[in-house]
Amino acid sequence: MSKALGNHILVEFMNCDPHIMNDVAAIERDMVDAAKKAEATVINSTFHHFSPYGVSGVVVIQESHLAIHTWPEYGYAAVDVFTCGDMNSWIAFDHLKECFKSKSYSAIEIKRGSVNLLTRNDFDITTMRSKASEWVNPDFYTRNVWFTDKDESQALSLRFTGEVFFDVQSPFQRVRILESYKYGKMLALDDMVMTTEKDEFHYHEMISHPGMYMHPNPKNILVIGGGDGGTIREVLRHTSVETVTMVEIDGAVIDACKEHLPQIASSFDHPKLTLIVGDGIAFAKEAAPNTYDLILVDGSDPVGPAEGLFSTEFYQNCFNALKEDGILVAQGESPKFNEKAFKELNFTLQEIFGTDKAPVSLFFVPTYPTGMWSFQYGLKGNVGQNQVPEKPVIDSFVSENGLRYYNHGLQTASFALPNFVADLVKK
């Protein structure tokens, strides 16, 4: 056989474990290890996860590259290993076959750059060769592992370190704690970003304080969802509070956050808290009428276990469970990213609480797709969004508690809507 510049193996890994095929961190680790086992020198790796599923990535090695694209729904990975020099690509193949738990596979090997067919030109590489020999490969390689939260036409990507601190498939969802470079550790549920260490305060301060200050004397609070603990942490800052009941369906979320996000999950031992691990939708249905001053619905997006948190029946039950001047605050989705759910929720609240009793508060979360997010309110009885304490009262609460997002201005200003958002919720 004539001499070739490179060797390329194209691999079909079939009947692989679908969970592994959707796990960007595991695939990146396995591909890098495969390269190292085959005695390649790893330069860097770039991997992306695509929600709801699929991983693409490449490991650049001094001897060329390893690349992959996966289809978890078919338990399939297309892999190619391109090398030059003496590296044995089949060592990488064997390693990946084991890691992916592939039950059937095939591969073809192609020689690339047959020197018989190529004509060498007079490009002078002597100086480059001496430069190249001076280059020392660093002991580390650069990792580019990306977590992507997306719909069919837009996305938010965060680069993460590849560290996976928690990864449990609960009966409801996949619960993970990963680490992003920019925003620190983050809680992801089924591939959707829920909260991160560095920007959680945007969400948790804004779900809690505007409603708490709109109410003249909030004593009994119900939180549905909110398993990371950030919402109860904020609510419990208010001295008027006598009881907080929190109902979270997924105990795995609480466990994950207590262990890995302790600054968010800091109030689970508070004496005023009653924590129930159970179904918040059923809880609202069975709740006694006129019980709560505030109900905060800190749920995830309207897929999986949170779907029922967007139904008319659920909000009617919340309305009944609120006291006469009670306030409902619900995670309201994004008017840009999930316009349909945003609108439908507001129409539901208008129907139950009244047309002018369902205001929307907007705030920014850099780690949610589009960054523009909302809380939607249902105001029962005589409470109103403009009935708020004097500025000095809120100012001292903000400074005593070291709040970083909420302030007196936002108490009313967050309800001012851009025209296109106001139009979305006009009946």
Rounded to an integer, what distance in angstroms lies between the CA atom of residue 169 and that of residue 149? 18
Query: Sign of the CA dihedral 266, 268, 272, 273?
Result: positive
Rounded to an integer, what distance in angstroms lies between the CA atom of residue 256 and that of residue 254? 6
Given the residues 80, 298, 301, 325, the one annotated as active site: 298
Among 192, 246, 362, 425, binds ligand SPD (CB under 6 A): 192
Number of CB atoms found within 10 A of residue 295's CB = 29
CA-closest candidate to residue 348, choices 337, 363, 362, 333: 333
230 binds ligand SPD (CB under 6 A): yes
195 binds ligand SPD (CB under 6 A): yes
Give whichever of 13 and 50 is closer to ligand SPD, judged by the CB atom: 50
Taking the complex as a whole, the smallest distance from the CB of residue 374 to ligand SPD amounts, in Å, to 10
Among 228, 248, 250, 293, binds ligand SPD (CB under 6 A): 228
Residue 62 amino acid letter: Q
Which three-class secondary structure state does DSSP give residue 252?
Answer: helix
Give whichever of 157 and 387 is closer to ligand SPD, judged by the CB atom: 157
Taking the complex as a whole, the smallest distance from the CB of residue 192 to ligand SPD amounts, in Å, to 5
Rounded to an integer, what distance in angstroms lies between the CA atom of residue 347 and that of residue 63? 59
Which three-class secondary structure state does DSSP give residue 343?
Answer: helix
The answer to whether 298 is a known catalytic residue is yes
63 binds ligand SPD (CB under 6 A): no
Give whichever of 231 and 267 is closer to ligand SPD, judged by the CB atom: 231
183 binds ligand SPD (CB under 6 A): no
Beta bridge partners of 246: 223, 275
Taking the complex as a whole, the smallest distance from the CB of residue 211 to ligand SPD amounts, in Å, to 15
300 binds ligand SPD (CB under 6 A): yes
> Which residues, 351 to 410, sit near ligand SPD by CB under 6 A?
368
At 217, give phi and psi (nearest 5°): -155, 75
Look up residue 32 and give its two tokens: 């890098």
The stretch near ligand SPD (CB under 6 A) out of 89-97, 102-110, 192-200, 233-241 is 192-200
Rounded to an integer, what distance in angstroms lies between the CA atom of residue 314 and that of residue 332? 14
Query: Which stretches of the chain bind ligand SPD, using CB under 6 A?
Result: 192, 194-195, 203, 226, 228, 230-231, 298, 300-301, 331, 368
Residues annotated as catalytic are: 298
